[in-house]
Amino acid sequence: MVEIARYDVAGRIGEVELREYPELMLATVTGRSDNSAFGLLFRYISGENRTRRKIPMTAPVITSEKIKMTAPVVSDANSFSFVMPLEYKLEEIPEPLDPDIVVQKIPARKLAVIRFRGYAKEKSVNEVKSRLSSLLQKNGILTIGELFLMRYNPPWTPGFMRRNEVGIEIQSSN
């Protein structure tokens, strides 16, 4: 069992869950295929880093999130990120050996999320993205950035047991 990024549920709108996430640390690779990026990040957390220290695997794995240029991160539509364990501070995270891995701090934020089961195939992900966008628009909820996919299970997990989510940052009402 892996650590799952913590969040508080702030509300619901139909099948949409409104969540508040604390500050998170991410290790991110951009501009590579999912398989290539996953392999690179998996080697990094397995000890292929400056200190040769292993980092526990966490969930979710986040893909294709565009992050605003004003945030302290690399902006790219084709990203793949591992969430670092909550107890790690930015200065405690081992330095990657590969320059394609960027360790970054994401400030606390509010997300709107729809959960779904099965394999995260393009067709099903796009359908959930469409539902989420439509529900948020109908309810006058303003979004920030782009929709992204969060996957929680290892590749060998059967489809009916898989947890996936599509999320997007939303403007906070406070």
pLDDT greater than 50 at residue 75: no
Mean pLDDT of 42-71: 82
| Sign of the torsion formed by the C-alpha atoms of 116, 2, 75 and 90 | positive
Mean pLDDT of 4-15: 96
Q: Given phi > 0 = left and psi -120 to 50 = alpha, else beta, which region is 36?
A: alpha
Decide yes or no: CATH 3.40.50.300 for domain 3-170: no
pLDDT of residue 74: 33
Share of the chain above pLDDT 70, in %: 91
Return the closest-CA partner of residue 107 out of 172, 166, 155: 172
Residue 114: pLDDT band by 50, 70, 90 thresholds? Answer: very high
pLDDT greater than 90 at residue 45: yes
Domain ranges within the chain, ordered by starting residue? 3-170
61-75, 124-138, 155-169 — which is least confidently predicted?
61-75
pLDDT greater than 70 at residue 67: no
Mean pLDDT of 105-128: 95
Residues 6+ apart with CB under 8 A from 145: 65, 66, 67, 68, 168, 169
Residue 85: pLDDT band by 50, 70, 90 thresholds? Answer: very high
pLDDT of residue 77: 53
pLDDT of residue 174: 56
Residue 34: pLDDT band by 50, 70, 90 thresholds? Answer: confident
pLDDT greater than 80 at residue 68: no
pLDDT greater than 50 at residue 72: no
Instruction: Determine which helix (DSSP H) or strand (DSSP E) holds 147, and give its type and residue range.
Output: strand 143-151
